[in-house]
Structure 1
Amino acid sequence: MSVDEVGGVLGEIRDEFLAVGERERLQLLLELSRELPELPERYAASPALLERVEECQSPVRAFAEVEADGVHFYATAPQEAPTTRGFASILAQGLTGLTPEQVLAVPDDYPMMLGLARAVSPLRLGGMAGMLGRAKRQVREQLAEGA
């Protein structure tokens, strides 16, 4: 399944990245880093409820929660790690509101679809892939618990 078939925001974000030159893509990622939504109080008060993303060099924590109105993806990343924060923001904006099935259908190589391979280190792209992989696993686990 393609990103376009999954959900609008992820496709829109991908299109924004591909519409600009490589140099501007990094700037766009930095802009998105400033748009990472704040954590709900229950997670802000107890960050241990969020899972540590080991693939990230920076201390990143994330959690995908299946609710009646769809999936909600929450993440925290330090201000001094804007690239990682940008990736977390993309996923928070792009996954939130999707159905569990749509989240599970997001291509695993979505981070590579943003055209950042020459602007960002493979390690950082791996961090975003790690966030996405965790979100999918967490959604699968919650679906299994509810079955």
Structure 2
Amino acid sequence: MTVLVLDNPTLLASVSLAAGMPLQVATTDQTPKRPHRLRFHFGFNQHRLNEEDQALLRQHALWLKHNPGASVHIHGHSDVFGVGEYNQFLSRLRASTAAKLMIRQGARDSQISMTGWGSDKPLARPEDHAANRRLELEYTIVDMARAL
């Protein structure tokens, strides 16, 4: 299944208009903006993010709380060190830790799904271990999925 994620407000507006959907964006000065950073990296054999990354995940959770039609899929990844079963476990643990943090901050459980990929989907060459130890957020907006 291919998922189209529109992260550009201008593209989002033009697709909405092309699909015949009225563009009703209720934003105020107090409406949180979704952080643009969607990728977070981990240290070797770690599943907890540093304080700065946790703060960004809290902002993502706040955005989800104010946008009930949106959902996020959290992809956990690992490097190639260790056996495959452990890497699978570690990648799921990374995704689960992020999901729990976001839920504690107000995101709905129904808005979050997770996958642990282990070392199966490297971002960089398998030898580039630090780049492959990561967490990625992939957003979908329910109304946009229906329009497409």
TM class by shorter-chain length?
A: under 0.3
Higher helix share: 1
TM-score by length of 2: 0.25
- The TM-score, its normalising length taken from structure 1, stands at 0.25
